[in-house]
Structure 1
């Protein structure tokens, strides 16, 4: 059985679409748990009409934030495999069936990443630069492949080509570690790195069974959120470099210290911050881009 967990906040219409994509699965071996971090009367009323035998709806009494709500989802889950479906993403009708097939064929897998298609806010096919880069970095070919150890971690340190909401995780492997509350924007990479350092294996499947929604953002916006993310990324990369050295993984250590695509991302934002004369943001971006 696969438990699909939705840590909800935000757009109700897209939540309905996400839930519908679960309800219409061709394989019935799933459960759905919605943990609502921004509960409203309308969402609660709508959720009460969902099939109670497979769907659980919980409204948080206080707002937990992204990291806290994901941890609550994990803590309340009970199935062997869990998926943290984004509240604006979509499962294809054969997602659960494909996952069960892969679990049976690759029992040693700890985490499974299926093929992913990118859509925009309106649900239309979309492939911005970020996802073009992810495709170039993704090592999968024409058939499923198991990845592990230093080569996998080193590749992710060069650039994170995974899609967290599409991934299925063996629950017992991540239950004790859980989600880092001090890394709200990079907790997915931190969790995956912890699994890899602990000897886990990632199964990557090229067959697309998931639609990831990439919302358009203003090309001119350089926000405080960007600044916080880069500070957080640097802290995580420094930590993973130390952990890699402790494992004797020299390539992963170097890749974490260099974090190439993260630096390139900061470099692309720097000219905009300079044009806006945003000194604080410019310093963060310059430090992330050029500091050794």
Structure 2
């Protein structure tokens, strides 16, 4: 018999979208599903739609639990829903998104393949949340992401790991093991994501990554990503998220030194979040003061081997600088520094991948570091193009050897990384160069 999977679905005023989501639940190729629909005081007909779909879901063979509550917010809806579940596994889809037909079955099968691992995450189709960028060894559909030294916790706090709980499934036993329901805070303005992810990533040794896009996230006008637009509301939201992170980490990180480290990371990301929303909503008048605060907090945190300045941000852009900071805190190793030094003045081939804005800004850095590429690869080029004086050619992955080094000057690098993993070439990132350059400036 199939294992029972519980879905906890908070529902609030989504009458226009919830039918499509519930239709995608009905189409799951998994038969043993328990769906807990928590109506959070809807006033637009959402409750009536839930009632209509109850019969359809039951006709599919699913167990349906409907919980009505006064409007208390998504965190309370999740907590109250979790208290009713009885499945072996549990997941948390939003009521206005869409599920691939194998959303449930593929994640259950992944968990059954790794009985010692308690959580699996899939990729997402959509326009609002972070998806995964593969590690150097990630080529298979199912990969075990090791959480040594809580690296995945670092990435989550810095928004470099999946931010949504909708794309994950866990063993229900993990809820009691980590006291997630007991510790769940309901009087918060932020989403439920931190209260689910932080305990897991602070405690578990590994997470399964299912490299398949099984969840479609659709950003609506009234989603929390779009509805917080007033600058004071943005500040309040970021501060609430920061304080909630502190409270949660207090439960799950015992060492004071480690706790202070993770709290400092969450302070850094607070300004990343503020600046992301400032950019998204065109609040330019607040940009510079928050960049200055970000630079101040990064420097005072003492987590980096270099100091930032607003002049550095102006020269390279906030996006590139903050990306280099996050990269240093999550990906950078002494081996990376050695690789940069090893390639200085090296006679073997040095290839820059990407001839766009990043490469244009970093060419002077390459010159100062004595790392001028022999070739620049770009899929968007015309015949006989040059990048300054450097030949610009189409990518030729099959030509790469163990003596070649490729530096990625692109943001969207997943497909390129997968192609490079099939070769023997060494790979560096533009962040490696920035870190080395910033260290030289200090």
Q: How does 1:1-292 map to 2 (within 5 A)?
A: 1-39=4-42, 40=45, 42-52=48-58, 53-118=61-126, 127=127, 131=129, 134-135=130-131, 139=135, 141-143=138-140, 144-149=143-148, 150-162=150-162, 163-175=164-176, 176-178=179-181, 179-199=184-204, 201-215=206-220, 221-239=229-247, 246-247=254-255, 250=258, 253-254=260-261, 256-259=263-266, 260-269=268-277, 272-273=282-283, 275=285, 290-291=296-297, 292=300
Conserved 8 A contact 1:109-1:146: no
Q: How far does residue 245 in structure 1 lie from its aligned partner after superposition? A: 6.8
Question: Bigger shift: 49-58 or 94-103?
Answer: 49-58
Count of matched residue pairs? 275
Question: Structure 1 stretches of 5 or more lacking a match?
Answer: 119-126
Q: 1:241 to 1:138 in 2, by over 3 A?
A: farther
Q: Distance in 1 between matches of 2:234 and 2:63?
A: 36
Q: Distance in 1 between matches of 2:295 and 2:275?
A: 6
Which structure has the bigger radius of gyration?
Answer: 2
Q: Distance in 2 between matches of 1:190 and 1:112?
A: 17
Once superposed, what is the RMSD of the aligned Cα atoms? Answer: 3.5
Aligned partner of residue 151 in structure 1, secondary structure: helix
Conserved 8 A contact 2:199-2:252: no
TM-score normalised to the size of structure 1? 0.78
Conserved 8 A contact 1:245-1:253: no
Q: Distance in 1 between matches of 2:217 and 2:197?
A: 19
Conserved 8 A contact 2:147-2:201: yes
Question: Deviation string for 1:9-46 (max 9, x for gaps)?
Answer: 12213111111111011222322221211344632541
Q: Distance in 1 between matches of 2:144 and 2:172?
A: 21
TM-score normalised to the size of structure 2? 0.54
Question: Deviation string for 1:207-238 (max 9, x for gaps)?
Answer: 11111122357799335542222111221444
Q: How far does residue 286 in structure 1 lie from its aligned partner after superposition? A: 7.3
Q: Tell me which of the two structures has the higher relative contact order, counting C-alpha pairs closer than 8 angstroms and 6 or more residues apart.
A: 1
Conserved 8 A contact 1:267-1:286: no
Q: 1:87 to 1:224 in 2, by over 3 A?
A: farther
Q: How far does residue 2 in structure 1 lie from its aligned partner after superposition? A: 1.0
Question: Structure 2 stretches of 5 or more lacking a match?
Answer: 301-442
Q: 1:164 to 1:249 in 2, by over 3 A?
A: farther
Conserved 8 A contact 2:6-2:85: yes
Aligned partner of residue 205 in structure 1, secondary structure: strand
